[in-house]
Amino acid sequence: MPAATESSDAKLARAAGFSLHAAVASEGHEREQLARRCRDLTRPAVWPERLSLTAQGNTRYRRKTPYRDGTTQVVFEPLDFIARLAALAPTPRVNLTRYHGLLAPNHRQREPVAPA
């Protein structure tokens, strides 16, 4: 993951519109924090309240925050919208957790660190 670009926090990474903050942690007895983490992880990719159809039958999506040029909504033809939405879904039966370094599956020194 690339280093943080907008923050000096070493535990924050931003890339391609995504951010990951590695300092977020919750103990098992902190039920409210755990519930918040679960809500964050299960958020939908697109909020239905921001979707609408135009008179021409296109899909309009209102953005939460405007682009730098002031654009507050984007309009897609139906098939284009479905294609972009499908691109957000993970590939079936593919593990989304990637391990690098010693934890990588084929690293020659993995066994002492993470026994099978």
pLDDT for 39-90, tens place per residue? Answer: 888 888 788 999 999 999 999 999 999 999 999 999 999 999 999 988 888 8
Burial of 23 (0-12, 13-18, 19+ CB in 10 A): exposed
Report the amino acid identity of residue 111.
E
More confident residue, 17 or 54: 54
- Read off the pTM: 0.51
Confidence class of residue 8 from pLDDT cuts 50, 70 and 90?
low
**CA–CA gap between residue 102 and residue 112 (Å, rounded):** 9
User: What is the per-residue pLDDT for 16?
Assistant: 74
Q: Domain coordinates of the chain in residue numbers?
A: 1-43, 45-116
CA 92 to chain centre: 17
pLDDT in tens, 84-100: 988 888 888 877 788 88
d(CA 15, CA 7): 12
Determine the pLDDT at residue 63. 93
HEC assignment per residue over the chain: CCCCCCCCCCCEEEECCEEEECCCCCCCCCHHHHHHHHHHHCCCCCCHHHEEECCCCCEEEECCCCCCCCCCEEEECHHHHHHHHHHHCCCCCCCCCCCCHHHCCCCCCHHHHCCC
Radius of gyration of the chain (CA): 20
